[in-house]
């Protein structure tokens, strides 16, 4: 099964495209949700917990723009209360919260660095207080630098691993206890 759930539309790997920065790429692409992801949403449209209806709450890391933003919107329009996580673009996160709430969806945002375990635990606590227990975690946060390997600094290498790997670890560790307790939940990496 192809687990590539989301891909940018209209992007080709020509020389001009490769020269664009990652930020420019993320801000100027539209994203399409693959059928595999829609199948997941269809199968999980009714939150059920031990025979009772439960609220569907999604935390999507790194989701104020790009792929994460598309996931936020799709989940919100499929009945999930969503938490938009960002580290830098609070303006984009607030804009998305306003858009989703105007469309009748329940949404919030929280600024937290996923590389910081304490910040992630604070974010999950805030989500639980405002929206309820996280039933779906999408570990979307990630960074990449467009440079030759030999030009990458050791500092950036470590930072990239802190965000891309330790961020996934921190977010999963923060939501997993409740998911295990409730025998319910989903984590997408």
Q: Which two tokens stand for residue 117?
A: 């375990």
> Which is it for strands 31-33 and 48-49: parallel, antiparallel or unpaired?
unpaired
Q: How far is CA 10 from the centre of its chain?
A: 22
| pLDDT for residue 83 is more than 50 | yes
Cβ(178)–Cβ(134) below 8 Å: yes
Least confident of 33-47, 48-62, 70-84, 118-132: 33-47
Q: Tell me how far apart the alpha carbons of residues 189 and 177 are, in angstroms, rounded to a whole number.
A: 17
As a whole number, mean pLDDT of residues 65-78 equals: 95
Check whether 37 has a pLDDT greater than 90. Answer: no
Cβ–Cβ < 8 Å for 72, 96:
yes
Lowest-confidence segment of 1-15, 22-36, 37-51, 109-123 by average pLDDT: 1-15
Residue 97 CB partners (closer than 8 Å, separation 6+): 84, 107, 108, 109
Whether residue 43 has pLDDT greater than 90: no
| Cα 137–Cα 140–Cα 144 angle in degrees, nearest 5 | 160
What DSSP element (H or E) covers 52?
A: strand 52-53
> pLDDT tens digit string along 136-178?
999 999 998 888 999 999 999 999 999 999 999 999 999 999 9
In this structure, are residues 93 and 108 in contact, taking their beta carbons and an 8 Å threshold?
A: no
pTM of the model: 0.76
Confidence of residue 98 (pLDDT cuts 50, 70, 90): very high
Structure token pair of residue 14: 């020509």
Residue 55 — pLDDT band, cuts 50, 70, 90? confident
* pLDDT attached to residue 33: 53
């Amino acid at each position: 099964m192809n687990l590539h759930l989301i891909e940018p539309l209209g992007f080709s790997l020509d020389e001009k495209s490769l020269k664009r920065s990652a930020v420019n790429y993320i801000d100027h692409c539209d994203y399409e949700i693959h059928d595999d992801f829609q199948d997941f949403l269809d199968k999980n449209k009714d939150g059920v917990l031990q025979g009772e209806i439960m609220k569907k709450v999604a935390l999507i890391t790194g989701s104020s723009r790009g792929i994460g933003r598309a996931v936020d919107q799709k989940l919100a329009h499929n009945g999930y209360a969503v938490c938009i996580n960002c580290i830098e673009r609070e303006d984009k996160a607030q804009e998305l919260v306003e858009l989703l709430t105007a469309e009748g969806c329940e949404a919030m945002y929280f600024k937290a660095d996923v590389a910081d375990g304490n910040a992630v635990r604070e974010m999950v606590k805030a989500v639980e207080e405002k929206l309820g227990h996280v039933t779906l975690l999408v570990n979307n946060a990630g960074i990449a630098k467009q440079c030759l390997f030999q030009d990458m600094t050791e500092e950036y290498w470590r930072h990239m691993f802190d965000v891309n790997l330790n961020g996934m670890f921190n977010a999963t560790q923060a939501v997993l206890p409740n998911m295990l307790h409730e025998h319910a939940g989903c984590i997408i990496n």
